[in-house]
Amino acid sequence: MAVSSGMSFAIASLLTVLLFSGMQMNRQWLASSQVLTLVGGWFASMLFELLLIAVGNLESALFGKGFQTTLFPEVVLCLAIAMVSAGMIHRVCTTTCLLFSLVALYYMNRISQATYAAPAPVQPVVTKKKK
């Protein structure tokens, strides 16, 4: 069931705050082993995705449905916030957050292009027959 952009912004913002606080409350546990450090980076990449969804929906609610989230201000800012929150746990979390976030961004872009991109018009090819 689809929700409005404003409601989606509220849900993504709430989940962002909950995930960030959960990461900070369990910071010692996430930094206790190598595998959990990777899990901390994955949690931070989920934080990046939720932040990006919240920012995109806020812009959509404020500026209209045609407004698009761009690379420089929105994506870079959300990635920086997620990497700083990962750095509060462990330095390796920052690196794994970057890697997981780039993979997630690639797939989010593919899904967005498949869903919202207008199909290119097909031009019929006209060939002249030789007599």
DSSP the chain: ----HHHHHHHHHHHHHHHHHHHHHTHHHHTSSHHHHHHHHHHHHHHHHHHHHHHHHHHHHHH-TT----IIIIIHHHHHHHHHHHHTT-HHHHHHHHHHHHHHHHHHHHHHHHHHSPPPPPPPPP-PPP-
User: Using one digit for the tens of pLDDT, what is the confidence trace for 100-113?
Assistant: 999 999 999 999 88
Across all residues in the chain, what is the average pLDDT?
A: 91
pLDDT for the residue 43: 97
Which sequence spans correspond to the domains of the chain?
5-113
pLDDT of residue 67: 83
pLDDT at 70 exceeding the cut of 90: no
Q: What is the pTM of this model?
A: 0.86
Whether 72 has a pLDDT exceeding 90, the answer reads no
